[in-house]
Amino acid sequence: MTGAPLDRLAAWPRLRLASLPTRLVRARNLRTALGAEAPELWVKMDSETGFALGGNKVRKLETELAPDRLEGVTHLVTAGGPQSNHCRVTAAAAAHLGLGCVLAINGEASDPPTGNALLHRHFGASILTVSSRDERAPAMAEAARDIAAEGGRALIVPLGASTGLGALGYALAVGELTSQLADLPEVERTWLFVSASSCGTLAGLLLGVSLLERADVRLVGVSADASAFELRTDTLRLAAEGAALLGWEGQLREGALAAADEFVGRGYGVPTPASREALDLFGRTEGIVLDPVYTAKAAAGMISWIRSGNVPPSHRVVFVHTGGHPALFA
Ligand SMILES: Cc1ncc(COP(=O)(O)O)c(C=O)c1O
């Protein structure tokens, strides 16, 4: 990566939380299991970003919680579902920074709490239970007002840390991945498959890919819940916000982006036959643990695209593993 926006990206202020670079692992057995026409397959192990059991949220919070944004802050306030990975990592970051943490959670955790719900409490967060997704934003605003009334100051971290700023964490990941791929023989095209929901990850990848001058890359975001239209719209908006922060006025590579919503099945967190198969296949062929909510559906999407011949055997596929392991134990 060269040029002024890339230099600004490389120098962007970050809270160092992640163990980087994450591994890029060749998935030979999985490729064999997918048939003779399957392309070369790799897994970018962002499940191993390390902090608080890892996953994609760690990279987004590195930029979202940059030291200059934390001046005077006494609490982090954020929101999510009872099994939110984002709430887990935010609560752990607050603990690490010596700050308080309030989580607006829509829905009750199981009793006793398991998986991420257990970890939200383990990291000492205060839980505000609300009854719907729509009530989360007002609950966060109210928590921030209460904190201010007691002389503190809250930093509200938007859902999933999916902001232009959070996306910069994933634009940086493209640079990391590019240098890992540079050690491999050249191929005509590289495909990235990744789970998408609040779209900060996909937006950051799109921005990072757009900043690369020549590589031929296709980026496929596989939805965990939202429609393909929402994924595309949110991804382009967040990538543009990230580009504006960098002062980059180039064109986002919209043509490189595909959004797939046909692997959601009956809804968020509800397994499908294809997501169960993907979870099993990754485990049995590679010893790689997927999660049932996000990465198993994204992997189901990748497997389906490969089996249906959408990715020619001469291309290379990288599955970006975004983590989410605690949900397996929920
Ligand atoms: C494990 C995991 N993978 C993927 C995603 C999707 O990432 P994003 O919200 O940036 O689209 C999330 C968060 O929602 C997640 O927790």
Helix (H, G, I), strand (E, B) or coil at 209: helix
Percent of the chain's residues with pLDDT above 90 = 98
126-130 and 217-223: which strand pairing? unpaired
**Can 179 be counted among the known catalytic residues?**
no
The pLDDT assigned to 251 comes to 95
Nearest CA to ligand 1 atom 14: 197
Rounded Cα–Cα distance for residues 275 and 299 (Å): 7
Which residues neighbour 236 within 8 Å (Cβ) at sequence distance 6 or greater?
Answer: 203, 206, 252, 254, 257
- Residue 31: DSSP 8-state: H
Tell me the mean pLDDT in the region 79-104: 98
Q: The whole model's pTM is what?
A: 0.97
Q: Taking Cα atoms as reference points, which of 221, 305, 225, 304 lies closest to residue 264?
A: 225
- For 161: left if phi > 0, alpha if psi spans -120 to 50, otherwise beta; the answer is left
Residue 189 has pLDDT above 80, yes or no: yes
CA of 59 to the centre of ligand 1 (A): 11
Q: What is the distance in A from the centroid of ligand 1 to the CA of 257?
A: 17
pLDDT tens-place string over residues 100-117: 999 999 999 999 999 999
**Residue 185: count of CB within 10 angstroms of its CB:** 7
Residue 3 has pLDDT above 80, yes or no: no
Predicted confidence (pLDDT) at residue 175 exceeds the cutoff of 50: yes
Residue of the nearest CA to atom 7 in ligand 1?
A: 196
Give the atom of ligand 1 at the shortest distance from the alpha carbon of 47.
1
How far, in Å, is the centroid of ligand 1 from the Cα of 107?
19
Q: Do 293 and 325 contact (CB within 8 A), yes or no?
A: no
| 2 pLDDT higher than 60 | no
Residue minimizing CA distance to atom 3 of ligand 1: 322
- pLDDT reported for residue 284: 98
Residue from 46, 51, 57 to probe ligand 1 pocket by mutation (most atoms less than 8 Å from CB): 57
The pLDDT of 244-270, averaged and rounded, is: 97
Domain map (residue ranges) of the chain: 4-56+163-329, 66-156
Q: What topology is assigned to 4-56+163-329 in CATH?
A: Rossmann fold (3.40.50)
Architecture of the domain made up of 66-156: 3-Layer(aba) Sandwich (3.40)
Protein residues whose CB sits closer than 6 Å to any atom of ligand 1: 55-56, 85-86, 160, 162, 195-202, 291, 294-295, 322-324
Q: Is the pLDDT of residue 90 over 80?
A: yes
pLDDT for res 1: 45
> Using one digit for the tens of pLDDT, what is the confidence trace for 293-310?
999 999 999 999 999 999
The catalytically annotated residue of 19, 47, 84, 110 is 84
Q: Cα of 27 to ligand 1 centre, how many Å?
A: 22
Which ligand 1 atom is nearest residue 200's CA?
10
Q: Is a pLDDT exceeding 60 seen at residue 135?
A: yes
Output the average pLDDT for the chain: 97
Whole-number Å distance between alpha carbons of 294 and 247: 32
In the predicted model, is pLDDT for residue 94 greater than 80? yes
Measured between alpha carbons, how far is residue 6 from residues 205, 243, 297 in Å?
14, 10, 32
Domains 4-56+163-329 and 66-156 share a fold: yes
